[in-house]
Chain A
C-alpha cells in the first residue's frame, strides 16, 4: 500500500492591506516595512483646528517650503520599522557595553594623565548637550513633518541622539568615579567656554526654525555632517595617547553616522530631485547651514587640535556629500 501525501496550496484572499495594494496597483506581498510605513499617517477628517497654529492642519504639507507630490517617495533604504530598528540598535549597544567593560577592566580611563582628562571633560563631554539638541530637532521634525516615511525614521534618529548623549555621559562618569562632577563641569563649559558658544548658538537657533525640512537639512548636513563628524572623525589627535580609548567608547557614533547617513542622504537626494524649486531651496539651506556649522566649529576645532583644520575638513566633506546628492552649493 502506498500512502500519498497531498499538499494543498491555499491561496490567501489578500496578500496585503487594501491601502498598500492600492498604492502598488496590485495585490502582492508587501514587506513589514512597507506595511508599517506607507500611508500610515492620517490625512483627512481632523476634528479640531490646532489653536496654536490655526493656519495649518495637524499634518500639513505647507509646513515646509519644499513641495512633494508624494511624501512617501523618500523611503528609508534601511527599511527600518519598530522591530528592525530596535534589533539593529540592540546589537550596536551590545558592542558599546563590551567596549565599556573592556575599558573599565583595564582601567584605561583611570590611567590617563590629568591634562587629557581635563580636555575630555571640557572638549568631549559637552557634546552630549549637542546630542540632546539634535534629539529635540528630530522630535520636532517628527511632529511637524509630513508622511510616515520621513517622520518615523526621524523619531528613531531622535532616540539615537539620546542614546549617544548617554554614551558620552557614561564616559564622563568613568572619568569622575561615578560622581557626576565631570558632567557638571562639562555643562559649565557648554554654557560659558568660548570654544562651545558657536556650536551652542547654532543648535539653539535651529530650535526656532519653523520650516521642518529646512530643519532636517540643518540637522543632517549641518550638525551631523559637520559638527559631529568633526568631533568624532577628525579630532583623534586631540586625545593624544587616549585616542584609541576614546575611539572605542565612541564607536557607536561612527557606526551610527555611516548607517544613518544612508537614510538622511537618500531623503535629501529624493526631495531635491523632485523639482528645480526644491533643488534651489534645499541647496540654499544646505549651503547656509554647512557654512554656519563650519564657522561654529572653528573655535572648537582650535581648542581640540590646535587649528581650524578639523572644522574645514569636516565642512568640505559635507559640501562634497551635498554635491553628490545633486545639490548646487
Chain B
C-alpha cells in the first residue's frame, strides 16, 4: 500500500496561491477542507514548486516562506531553492 505524503496549510490569502500550485502540480492529490485549514494528501510524493507559486503570487517567493502558513506535514522533506518536496522515497 502506498504511503501518504501530506501537508496541512492554513486556509488564508497567503496560503491560497500555494494550495492552488499544489493542486496544479500534483495529479491525484486529495483535498480535505477543515475550518481554517486544508489538508492535502497524495500517494508517495507531494511537491510545492517555487515557479508555480510565483506564477500565482505575482512576486518572488522562497519555499521557506511556506513555514508561515504550514500547520503540519507527513513525509521526508526535501527542501531546495526551487521546491519543497515531501515523499517516502529515499
Q: How far is the CA of A78 from the CA of B56 in the complex (A)?
A: 10
Distance in Å from the Cβ of A13 to the closest Cβ of chain B? 16
Inter-chain contact A78/B58, CB cutoff 8 Å: yes
Chain A residue contacts of B35, Cβ below 8 A = 7-10
Task: Tell me whether A160 is interfacial, beta carbon within 8 Å.
Answer: no
Closest to B33 in A: A9
Chain B residue contacts of A29, Cβ below 8 A = 16
Chain B contact residues, majority secondary structure: mixed
Interface residues of A in 8-55 (CB under 8 A from B): 8-10, 29, 31-33
Indicate whether A7 sits within 8 Å of B34 (C-beta atoms), given known contacts A31-B13, A31-B16, A32-B13.
yes
Task: Tell me whether B69 is interfacial, beta carbon within 8 Å.
Answer: no
Chain A residue contacts of B57, Cβ below 8 A = 79
B34, B57, B58 pick with most chain A CB within 10 angstroms? B58
Interface range, A side: 10 to 19
Closest to A266 in B: B58
Distance in Å from the Cβ of A4 to the closest Cβ of chain B? 16
Task: Tell me whether A76 is interfacial, beta carbon within 8 Å.
Answer: yes
Distance in Å from the Cβ of A31 to the closest Cβ of chain B? 6
Chain B residue contacts of A31, Cβ below 8 A = 13, 16-17
Chain A residue contacts of B16, Cβ below 8 A = 29, 31
Q: How far is the CA of A76 from the CA of B59 in the complex (A)?
A: 11
A33, A76, A77 pick with most chain B CB within 10 angstroms? A77
- Give the number of residue pairs across the A-B interface with Cβ within 8 Å: 20
Chain B residue contacts of A77, Cβ below 8 A = 58
Interface residues of B in 6-56 (CB under 8 A from A): 13, 16-17, 33-35
Residues of B in contact (CB 8 Å), total: 9
Closest to B32 in A: A9
Closest to A76 in B: B58
Q: How far is the CA of A8 from the CA of B57 in the complex (A)?
A: 30
Q: How far is the CA of A175 from the CA of B33 in the complex (A)?
A: 60
Interface residues of A in 76-102 (CB under 8 A from B): 76-79
Distance in Å from the Cβ of B2 to the closest Cβ of chain A? 26
Indicate whether A9 sits within 8 Å of B58 (C-beta atoms), given known contacts A29-B16, A31-B16.
no
Indicate whether A79 sits within 8 Å of B58 (C-beta atoms), given known contacts A31-B13, A31-B16, A32-B13.
yes
Q: How far is the CA of A178 from the CA of B59 in the complex (A)?
A: 38
Q: How far is the CA of A78 from the CA of B13 in the complex (A)?
A: 15
Indicate whether A9 sits within 8 Å of B34 (C-beta atoms), given known contacts A78-B59, A79-B57.
yes
Interface residues of A (CB under 8 A from B): 7-10, 29, 31-33, 76-79
Interface residues of B (CB under 8 A from A): 13, 16-17, 33-35, 57-59
**Can you identify 10 A-B contacts, CB atoms within 8 angstroms?**
A7-B35, A8-B35, A9-B34, A9-B35, A31-B16, A31-B17, A32-B13, A78-B58, A78-B59, A79-B58
Knowing that A7-B35, A9-B34, A79-B57 are A-B contacts, what are 15 other residue pairs whose CB atoms are under 8 Å apart, sorted by A's residue number?
A7-B34, A8-B35, A9-B33, A9-B35, A10-B35, A29-B16, A31-B13, A31-B16, A32-B13, A33-B58, A76-B58, A77-B58, A78-B59, A79-B58, A79-B59
